[in-house]
Structure 1
Amino acid sequence: MLTTPPAQPSQPAQPTQSSPPSTSDTRIPPERALAPIAWRSVLVVAGLLFAALMALAGRHGYLLDELYTRVAGQHLAWAQIDQPPLPALVARLETILLGDTVTALRVAPALVAAALVVLSALIARELGGTGRAQFLAAAAAATSGFVANTGHFLTTNDFDALSWVGVLLLAIRMARTRDLKLWLAIGAVVGVGLYGKYLIALLLISLAVSVLVCGPRDLLRGKWLPLGVLIALVIPAPVLLWQAFTGWPQFEMAAAVSKALEDLAVVSFLPILILIMGLFLTPFWVAGLVALLRRPRWRQYRFVAVAFPVMIALLIVTGGPSNYASALQFVLLSAGAVVVDGWTRTVTRKVVIGVALVANAALSAVLTLPVLPIQTYADDGVLQNSSFVQFDQVGWPELAAQAAAVYRALPAEDQARAVFYGNHYGQAGALDRYGPELGLPRAYSGHNSYADFGVPTEDKTVVIAIGVDRALFTDLFASCEQRGAFTLDLPVSDRGQEFLVCRDPVRSWAQTWPRLRWIGFQCPYTTKPVTATSATGCD
């Protein structure tokens, strides 16, 4: 409901002749000058972060998901069962331009992390932050676990984080300037973001609810919002049409993820929220949340703060993990930097903030990045349980070497008609990466879109299978025999998985392959697969 303009201006009095012309919506705040962008200090922080991430990029090895994405880059399509095509395309380009190494694969994530640092500073500036506040926002972003995790691995999370933060920056700018043409830019970011991950739909729902609840509702008026929506749908049309024509497998995948994490989500929701940014940055983003809700001069940005609990509610209802809200939390961190900048007026307080940033950087690095020898993580019980992601990056060359030993032990006639089968895409991806240099035949898997990367030809009648259900394979083949198990001193999830040598499929591969396909999620820390219809989730 439009109201009559107030009798007195909300800003310091100005001559009548310089007052802005009347408008149809008096909620539009007077334009205020922003501080110059602190490019020098912000880019220094972003550059140092990029250098640190690249220095660590080659340690330990490929993440399980990166092995899958690397192979997906060799089989480009408009989409895959569990992810849009952008990560695979980036992997393909990096491999061609920079080489087939784990370091090359992680250049793009490091660049995304540096971009997030810059975006954090720009958000602080939009909220009225000084140059020092922009630097503080950049430093807080660079020392957060969210950025460290995003910047180290090539996964769908990289592009999802970039698109979420980009949309939120544009939304905040639109709330400040009331330039509704920014809906076109938001639509473009959403459209491109859908090529990286589908989760941005949750952000749009949260923002829509929050704007309707607390405003500014005038942002939703006019022709620019529908045009932005149109752009957001046209750009990713090939991806959305692929999902539609294949029966929306993403929904089945999402249900499997929710099932896998249902036991973990409830007990770990709040701890993960805290650890995502880092324990020592908790006062930052909490201060940003409170200030966005309470500061009168930030009233037009209140929808950002309200969107956060709306997102949490959505995740609880749908069974999603709390880290899906991390990009919104990241924007609260940027707002908190503006608040903290106003608080740091004494040397003592500046020292406190500096210590907090250094401590958070150390904690985030130890938990997320391979800064310590892998054996150190294995020998320490606390690190082993809290830094489990470290163990999803090791053991893959050893797995390929032990698989090669099984293959070489076969008679020559069996070797000529043998292929490998990995129960999950990480095993098959490891054999694809390290197998050729060991002289191994091709590896296959029925897990998610790896099942679409190829089916064995009918002359391949010997299968060396890793970590599969023996009862299933005994039913599918004339004979199966165990040939040892994967051994490693480190507590990797595949340790102890059996190698089976199975001969002579009882049906054609065209008939056998549908029995091997499965859409689901590989439980962290174990080899337990979970599908949408699984009885239980991850333990």
Structure 2
Amino acid sequence: MLDTRKLPSDSRVAALAWRPLLAVVAVAGLVHAAVATRFGWHRDEFYYVISGRHLAWGYPDQPPLTPLLARLATELPGGVLPLRVLAIAAQLGCVLLAAKLAAELGGRGRAQVLAAAAVAVCPVFVAGSMLFGTTVTDQLAWAAVFVTVARALRLGSVRAWLTAGVVAGIGLENKATVGVLLLGLLVGLVAVRRPVLRTPGPWLAAAVAAVLVAPNVVWNAQHGWAQFRMAGVLSAEQGGALGALPNVPLLLLVLAGPPLIALWLLGVRRLCSAAGREHRWVLVVAVTALVVFTAGGGKSYYAAPALLGLFAAGAVRAEARPLAGPRRWATALGLSGVFAVLIGLPVLPLRAESALAAVNPQLVETAGWPEFTRQVTAAADTLPPGSSIFTSNYGEAGALTLLGPAAGLHVPVSSAHNGYLLWGPPAGTPDTVLCVGEWGPAYLHRFWSDVREIAPITAPDGITNEETGHHAAIYECRRPRGTWAQLWPGLSHLD
């Protein structure tokens, strides 16, 4: 008689508790949807859409997947709404994948729901899905890699490993930070699952991922490894490793959600115990992410997707050895959810969000773009025929390009910031240019002999954001010191 205990089978994993999980998804989705378009576009969303209109296998600050999705979303009616729907869908995908990962780590219904709810109310996941961009899609990619790798390790089949390889390759075409996840996975397998590396599955998965990311690698090689140069710029802005060091407690104690500290600590305990040894690679991934991103001067949220693995492991431990009753966990989840919504979603008045910009500056970056566009349009109406607009950053250029036509703006817009610098300057000589952004007259005088400030850029309700916080203004610039092609190298900048 065949001994089925020796056969890998999905039956060894508890089925997902769909009814309570869908309830968690529904509540999270409704909360996000209620405020999805309360303020408006974020500067990065403008940039992703414009980048998607210049399709390439890479850009100085990201691979191509998110710009492609942004372009497809904005071809639907509804303005920014389709983008926000994508962001919410990615967040809800993380919620469900957290439940699936808990199941792969040995959790039953209660553990699955606890893991899913923890991700749904975790501030760094909630805030990450406030807008559509590489942050929320990166979180989804990490979650999918966690699940597919855990499944491949359980089943041991080549097919399961190939699925993990496809997911990893797609994730790498979205954001290079998935490479740190894969590095942590390799270290984890060497440390605790070395026999797996003597099978073909992991290596075939790596080959598939390499093939999928190859076009972006080739693009980088053809463009002087632009994404690596951009990473160096961002690291320098963070202050390098020393500047990033405070990000570790910020992530673990604040962005993870103060009421959820106990859960990820339980996850660490579970993975360090004998019962969690076969899944200890999840902990190795988290430690590797913290070390690599800190040493590289990365931003505080780069390592955040690793929390999903710790939450799942913690939920399994909480189910197996309950140290707190359901009411205490419900209270912790509720408190974390309130905290996450207040700092991560646009629920407060605009002035209050401006006051909290030190905690989360992204919310105020979604306000004021229609007013900005109308202000620039009014200035552009006074220019002679043949004039153009040049902006200091991609947010300004994207806003004028996407919102300008509805406001009556029909003047060509260009910039030399990040991806825009690769798309090249306008043709000819910039006889009269409306320069918009956080420049000073001294800087602009390097490129034009006659520079006149027309008006400072203002924001609604007196909020302070990236534009108003650096005295961005509108300048009329005449008598250029060369053609666009000659001025372009000096105007180009990565930051």
Moved more, 133-142 or 455-464: 455-464
Unaligned runs of 5+ in 2: none
Find the counterpart in structure 2 of residue 88 from structure 1.
Answer: 67
Q: 3-state DSSP class of the match of 1:481?
A: strand
Alignment map for 1:36-435 (pairs within 5 Å) = 36-99=15-78, 101-213=79-191, 215-262=192-239, 264-294=243-273, 296-344=274-322, 349-378=325-354, 381=355, 383-410=356-383, 414=384, 416-435=385-404
Which residue of structure 2 aligns with residue 437 of structure 1? 406
Letter in 1 for 2:183: I
Structure 1 residues 297 and 287 mapped into 2: Cα distance closer, same or farther (>3 Å)?
A: same
Q: Note the alpha carbon deviations across 1:184-239, whole angstroms, 9 max, x for none.
A: 112111111122111111111112122222x1101111222322122111123222
Q: Which residue does the alignment assign to 1:530?
A: none
Q: Which amino acid in the other structure matches residue 360 of structure 2?
A: S
Match of 2:200, as an amino acid? K
1:352 & 1:307 partners in 2: Cα distance? 29
Distance 2:50 2:11 in 1: 50
- Checking the alignment, whether the CA contact within 8 Å between 1:144 and 1:360 is kept in structure 2 is yes
Contact kept? 1:58, 1:103, Cα under 8 Å: yes
Q: Give me the identity figure in percent.
A: 31
Contact residue 455 and residue 474 of structure 2 kept, 8 A:
yes
2:337 partner SS: helix
Contact 1:420/1:463, CA 8 A, preserved across alignment: yes
Specify the SS of the correspondent of 2:245. Answer: helix
- Following the alignment from structure 1 to structure 2, what is the Cα–Cα distance between the partners of residues 80 and 203? 21
Q: Quick one: which amino acid aligns to residue 376 of structure 1?
A: A
Paired with 2:2 and 2:147, the residues of 1 have a C-alpha distance of 33
Offset at residue 345 of structure 1 (A): 7.7
1:457 is displaced (CA, Å) by: 2.6
Mean CA deviation greater in 325-334 or 475-484: 475-484
Deviation at 1:468, TM superposition (A): 2.3
Aligned residue in 1 for 2:445: 474
When residues 337 and 194 of structure 1 are mapped into structure 2, their CA distance, relative to the original with a 3 A threshold, is same
Q: Secondary structure at the match of 1:370?
A: coil
Which moved further from structure 2: 101-110 or 459-468? 459-468
- Structure 1 residues 143 and 186: CA distance shift in structure 2, 3 A: same
User: Structure 2: which amino acid aligns with 1:511?
Assistant: Q
What is the CA distance between 1:175 and its match in structure 2? 3.0
Distance 2:188 2:317 in 1: 22
SS at match of 2:482: coil
Q: How many Å separate the matches in 2 of 1:511 and 1:469?
A: 21
> Which residue number in structure 1 is paired with residue 494 of structure 2?
519
By how many angstroms is 1:247 displaced?
A: 1.4
Kept in 1: contact 2:429–2:480 (CA 8 A): no
Shift of 1:19: 8.8
1:445 partner amino acid? S
The aligned amino acid for 1:289 is V
How far apart, CA to CA, are the structure 2 residues paired with 1:297 and 1:29?
19
Cα separation, partners in 2 of 1:482 and 1:340, compared to 1, 3 Å: same
Letter in 2 for 1:97: L
| C-alpha separation in 2, matches of 1:461 and 1:437 | 26
Task: Return closer, same or farther for 1:70/1:227 CA change in 2, 3 Å cut-off.
Answer: same
SS of residue paired to 1:325: coil
CA distance in 1 between counterparts of 2:34 and 2:423 reads 33
- Given candidates 428, 434, 454, the residue that maps to 1:458 is 428
* Distance (whole Å) between structure 1 residues aligned to residue 247 and residue 281 of structure 2: 26
Q: In structure 1, what is the Cα distance between the partners aligned to 2:443 and 2:4? A: 78
Structure 1: segments with no counterpart, 5+ residues: 1-15, 22-27, 521-539
Contact 1:176–1:300, Cα closer than 8 Å, also in 2: no
Q: CA RMSD for the aligned pairs?
A: 2.3
Contact 1:419 1:443 in 2 (8 A): yes
Q: Deviations over 1:396-442 (max 9, x none)?
A: 222222222322344xxx2x122111111111112112221222212
Change (3 A) 1:355 1:52: same
SS of the residue aligned with 2:346? coil
Equivalent pair of 2:429/2:483 in contact (CA under 8 Å): no
Q: Aligned equivalents of 1:207 and 1:486: distance in 2?
A: 48
Q: How many angstroms does 1:454 deviate by? A: 4.8
Classify the secondary structure of the residue corresponding to 1:196: coil
| Structure 1 residue 344, shift from structure 2 partner | 4.5
Quick check: 1:417–1:459 contact (8 Å CA) kept in 2? no
Alpha carbons of 1:181 and 1:104: their partners in 2 closer, same or farther (altered >3 Å)?
closer
Residues 155 and 249 of structure 1: CA distance in aligned 2, closer, same or farther (over 3 Å):
same
Per the alignment, do residues 39 and 98 of structure 1 end up closer, same or farther by CA in structure 2, a change over 3 Å counting? farther
Residue range with higher mean Cα deviation, 273-282 or 360-369:
273-282
How far does residue 494 in structure 1 lie from its aligned partner after superposition? 0.9
Aligned-partner Cα distance in 2 for 1:30–1:391: 50
- Report the counterpart of residue 475 of structure 2 in structure 1: 500
Distance 1:20 1:137, change over 3 A: closer
Whole-angstrom distance in 2 between the partners of 1:429 and 1:31: 48
Rounded to whole Å, the distance in 2 between the matches of 1:225 and 1:76 is 32
In the aligned structure 1, how far is the partner of 2:9 from the partner of 2:92?
Answer: 33
1:117-159 CA distance string (max 9 Å, x none) = 1101001111121112211211111111232123221111222
Query: 1:490 aligns to what?
Result: 463
Counterpart of 2:246 in 1: which secondary structure? helix
Counterpart of 1:175 in structure 2: which amino acid?
Answer: L
How many residues are matched?
487
Contact in 2 for aligned 1:143/1:364 (Cα 8 Å):
yes
Q: Distance in 2 between matches of 1:231 and 1:273?
A: 33
